[in-house]
Structure 1
């Protein structure tokens, strides 16, 4: 077991957090690098987007109650920009210096987060952990260039993921991430809802679901069909996204 990361210590030295991340610390991203990776930041050039994701975070916190929670972000169909939404929602949680965020890339056919965040996932990712190729969760979770934001990349590409997502190992991974620190918020970047049952399966592991509809890319009927896949009390709402 690794020592506690510095930012976990900074949040609460009295908290009994368990380290489940590798100790290597990448260089902090510059404003230009953040913009190239389409990540929100605190400077004026991204203020509108940053405020929008802060507002989404606030709404989810109001729904989630007093404890940390797991949020599934899933697109209605491919091309809705859900990975952009998931990445920046996780960044919005990490903006708060009292919180940690872990983004889990669960779209094994269209993984996007490792490249977007510039993470060198040299010891594997989610699918490698689920199939047993990686035994230690610490070897599948990586620091990013944003303080308090971590990534579990998809890892090796897989054609069939449903059985993996419904496995005890997947549930253990999500529970371990959430329980590693009382202020860690987990964001699952899910696959398209209307293309496979994987998003519905992942929703069983989530407390809240955010559905992403690409502006001008989906119909009202498609949104309603996608929303019907989730328990009504878990569906936090629909984000209409025009950035892909």
Structure 2
């Protein structure tokens, strides 16, 4: 859930940071045919293949030089995607809806403050930053007309392509683009047309990742992405053990900091927040928070039951509250956003 402050987690450092709690995303049932159509999911904001086709980001200028490779289309079989990527594999699940809440906040920050380049980091490895990056990017890409680019900037331990089961993990990506001074068209891939999501993999690990991140052409690529996409979600290395994330911070508009519930020590979180500019920390994601999962799932099931029952009631019966599920809480909805 989003909270007005990160409370006990912020250790007195960042009172303005929003906290976001995610239940642990467990691999669930893969969506069938009905789950992939608008008719089967009336509440899902997705684009179908006919709506997207092979449409490219607005403003793209395709090169006519035959020596310059064009953007590739990554045909990723949905059934093979990691089950923790709930925004893609189970878009109507409770976990996926929590990512939608986070996506709503990012969309508001874009409208009100121009937020466009969002980096996702964590104090150390293992906190869930990569799965968070992919889920956030997929959620943003599901909004109508929201072109989203997901960039794997973790050149030391790249994982985005592996999570998405992209064939040719060692194909040219960010590393090659920077070193050979290529544009986005030469290296980014198009994910399947279910969402308007594009992917720039890390590419082959370079000898010195930090030199790649410090390259002026790296900044040029990010600026090109800013011009051509509504959102750019960047999976960065952990902020504490290596300097890469601190360099990336120069070019992004904001950071989401991911911490593992009941696992990330508070002193490490405090140190990580101290490294980043306070004004650039736009959210704190508490990943795998089992402390509220059971209550949230109980409410979620009750809410769904109530919604189905209400369609069979007369207006008078609904007004009397007869549609409320027996185990659902009172009408005061547990606030998902507290300003």
- Cα deviation, residue 5, structure 1: 7.5
Instruction: Judge conservation of contact 1:22–1:143 (CA < 8 Å) in 2.
Output: no
Q: Find the aligned partners of 1:22 and 1:89 in 2 and give their Cα distance.
A: 26
Structure of larger gyration radius: 2
Match of 1:176 in 2: 224
Instruction: Judge conservation of contact 2:121–2:236 (CA < 8 Å) in 1.
Output: yes
The question of 1:97 aligning with 2:163 is answered no
Instruction: Please point out which of 187, 193, 196 is paired with 2:239.
Output: 193
Deviations 1:16-51 (A, max 9, x none): 444599454344644x4445462414857x521211
Instruction: Judge conservation of contact 1:123–1:139 (CA < 8 Å) in 2.
Output: no
Match of 1:88 in 2: 135
| Pair 144,16 (structure 1): closer, same or farther in 2 beyond 3 Å | closer
Give unmatched runs, 5+ long, in structure 2: 1-51, 64-68, 290-339
Match of 1:48 in 2: 94
Instruction: Please point out which of 212, 215, 218 is paired with 1:164.
Output: 212
Instruction: Judge conservation of contact 2:71–2:184 (CA < 8 Å) in 1.
Output: no
Deviations 1:99-155 (A, max 9, x none): 1111110111111111111223464001111122x6342121011234311111111
Which has the larger displacement, 46-55 or 98-107? 46-55
Instruction: Judge conservation of contact 1:68–1:178 (CA < 8 Å) in 2.
Output: no
Instruction: Judge conservation of contact 1:5–1:23 (CA < 8 Å) in 2.
Output: no
Equivalent runs, 1:1-244 vs 2, <5 Å: 6-8=54-56, 16-18=59-61, 22-27=70-75, 29-30=77-78, 32-34=79-81, 36=83, 38-41=85-88, 43=90, 47-66=93-112, 67=114, 69-121=116-168, 123-132=171-180, 135-145=182-192, 146-181=194-229, 184-242=230-288
Q: Find the aligned partners of 2:61 and 2:100 in 1 and give their Cα distance.
A: 27
Instruction: Judge conservation of contact 1:71–1:186 (CA < 8 Å) in 2.
Output: yes
- Cα deviation, residue 230, structure 1: 1.1
Instruction: Judge conservation of contact 1:212–1:238 (CA < 8 Å) in 2.
Output: yes
Match of 1:12 in 2: none
CA RMSD after TM alignment: 2.7
Deviations 1:44-92 (A, max 9, x none): 7x52121111111111222233546100000110111100000110001
State the TM-score, normalizing by the size of structure 2.
0.61
Which has the larger displacement, 59-68 or 105-114? 59-68
Instruction: Judge conservation of contact 2:74–2:189 (CA < 8 Å) in 1.
Output: no
Q: Find the aligned partners of 1:101 and 1:212 in 2 and give their Cα distance.
A: 20
State the TM-score, normalizing by the size of structure 1.
0.83
Give unmatched runs, 5+ long, in structure 1: 10-14
Q: Find the aligned partners of 1:194 and 1:140 in 2 and give their Cα distance.
A: 29
Instruction: Judge conservation of contact 2:115–2:254 (CA < 8 Å) in 1.
Output: no
Q: Find the aligned partners of 1:241 and 1:129 in 2 and give their Cα distance.
A: 32
| Pair 100,75 (structure 1): closer, same or farther in 2 beyond 3 Å | same
